[in-house]
Structure 1
Amino acid sequence: MPHRTATLFDPVHAGDLVLANRIVMAPLTRNRAPDATPNALMVQYYTQRASAGLIITEATAISQQGQGYADVPGLYAEEQVEAWKDVTRSVHAAGGKIVCQLWHVGRVSHTSLQPHGGAPVAPSAITANTKTVLLKDGVPAFVDTSAPRALQAYELPDIVHTYVAAARNAVQTAGFDGVEIHAANGYLIDQFLKSGSNQRRDDFGGSIENRARFLLEVVQAVTSAVGPGKVGIRLSPVTPANDAFDPDPQPLFDYVVRELAAFGLAYIHVIEGATGGPRELPERPFDYTGLRRAYRAAAGKGAWMVNNGLDKNLAQQALGDGADLVAFGRPFIGNPDLVERLRKGKVLVESDRSTWYGGGAKGYTDYPALKSA
């Protein structure tokens, strides 16, 4: 019998996660959590999208130091954890599965968001050539990031501990099905990985092995705390987002996934190309098939998730090429019932870009599902 290629609508296991289909809602920052605390509007937003095989929440700060944008949620204060319970209960009641993306932005922040107005932290004191989002009277404004200070080696165990504390808050208290470690898009872990932002001369800089050390320490600690089958990780080998750059990403990320193979993670989530931009970057060539093969050759068993600019046809092609899960980001904004629309071949609604960051229900929870369209 010839092997049948899985479809987007077939169930799949990802570690301990049993998913009804292979369509994943990618993390999407929406800046609608005043005081870094989830609210009723967020409960509605995620519940509307519970037909996804898996929801990955918007990036969620593991500490105040990890905050980099106005009105994004956290998972470090008791009131935040309690508020997330309402989200997970509602998503589960609607039949969905949801994991929380754990986030430390590193240098992609602003002094006004940091404890006591201090400088953001980073592997090296190199300012990111990028913007962050602050809100004034509810209106988002893009501003330059602040100059960071270099982390001392003795500070790193405390940051690892905050990842662990946030993971426990997520899984053991808030009711999430798991967590995703955000190691992509030029944020703290990615800053350690890539030589453009890591010019350290200690055990966390220089060689590929040293630059990957912080990531692997976080993964070791988080998987030990909540179980590897409840942990995924997000990587972005070549995206220029947030001034992320490494001149030789292939051996770096081949090494990373070979090391990750030993942990028994639920999934590896890979952004192909530029986050939110082109899938192909001629100036930054990368072999994603080779990356997956490196992971499998090292006996990695986690589900392989692909992301970035995929439509239904490309998504199905990705499954045929060996992916297990396909993440959709922006299409989920205007199409809360994206799974059903893809299943029926319906035209997708274009979301209103002016409402992506900050605001209220408009452009957030007011997109109709098919049955009421």
Structure 2
Amino acid sequence: MYDVVVVGAGIEGSATAYNLVKNGQKTLLLEQFPLPHSRGSSHGHSRITRVAYGKDDHYAVMMKEGGALWRSLEREAGVSIFLNCGCLAVGQPEFHFMKATVASLSRHGIRHDILTPGDLRSRYPMLALPEDYIGVFDYSGGVLRADRALRAFQTLFVKYGGELRDGEEVKDVIPGNVNTIVTSQGRYSARKVVVTVGPWAPKFLPRLGINIPLKTVLTLVLYWKEKNRGEYSTDRFPTYKNVGDNVEVYALPSLEYPGHVRVCYHNGPETDPDNRDKPDTQWILKRMQGYVRDHMPSLESTPSIVEPCMYTNTPDRQFVLDRHPGHKNIILGVGFSGHGFKLAPVVGKLLCELAMDRTPSYDLSPCRLDRFTTPAPRL
């Protein structure tokens, strides 16, 4: 008998299990693949982190605590996870993403610079941006070392008495006052279950009678070789976002592979996570080759390294953090829409609170499950 079984040991599930065991809960963390693995959404070396969230202000509020929790995890695990190299957003000044970014940073008192087109050319000569682009530099942003973060949560979870079983697929969850979890290797009983199954959510949730419009997409993680070694190093280039009507590109400095810069398109074709290599991704490569050629000319125009990754979108790009409507002892944490990694310490805390029947630390109204079934109010 466990207090809680967490299904899925990606970053959100691992952060949740860590919080549960620190709160005295006898916890089992189950993962279908042998760890570490690269089949889901939490693998890889790095992720962008930032505070500004524009119209989704509830995430900006969470991120103010999230940064402190990442620093706390670093101290607890004795590893470096957060590299504070800043985050640069670029675009036309009237575009809503740029205006919302400035408003969010100002509202939360986050130190930032607004860069004119001339400032951008002077500070970042490696970029070839349109003449009307401005920049917003967020001093609180930077890089999260994703692999270290995931390992830290899992290592501390086990250290504090949690039980981690990998290579064990969950076949079914049978609800009840005590839930039965059926796996490829046996059966477990738990008073509470937390479901954090990442890209498998659209396939797994219907087993629990939950049908919501989730979409798993396949994206390409692309690394481009520097023509001038060191030009995109972390002391010269921050994390980077360019969001516009026809572009949604992000980049990280040369860090993971020596002399290579990660520049990616933040979208991709819908995919089945069990057959993820089938969708056509050539259009992503062509689009990104054009972007790098035009805007980052000091990088080679063909990527040297191509890695797949998946994430699971909700229609409004908001998370689902809620209890099962019919079984309050089953908690759902799904639909992180490609921006949940940096919030994992806060998500883990919130899912722990839901599992322990505590009042959540934040207003979770935007993340409720019933937003997909409740009719929109008449205007």
Tell me if TM exceeds 0.5.
Answer: no
What TM-score do you get using the length of structure 2 for normalisation? 0.29
What TM-score do you get using the length of structure 1 for normalisation? 0.29
- Structure with greater helix share of residues: 1
Q: Give the number of the structure whose alpha-carbon radius of gyration is greater.
A: 2
* Larger relative contact order, structure 1 or 2 (CA cutoff 8 Å, min sep 6): 2
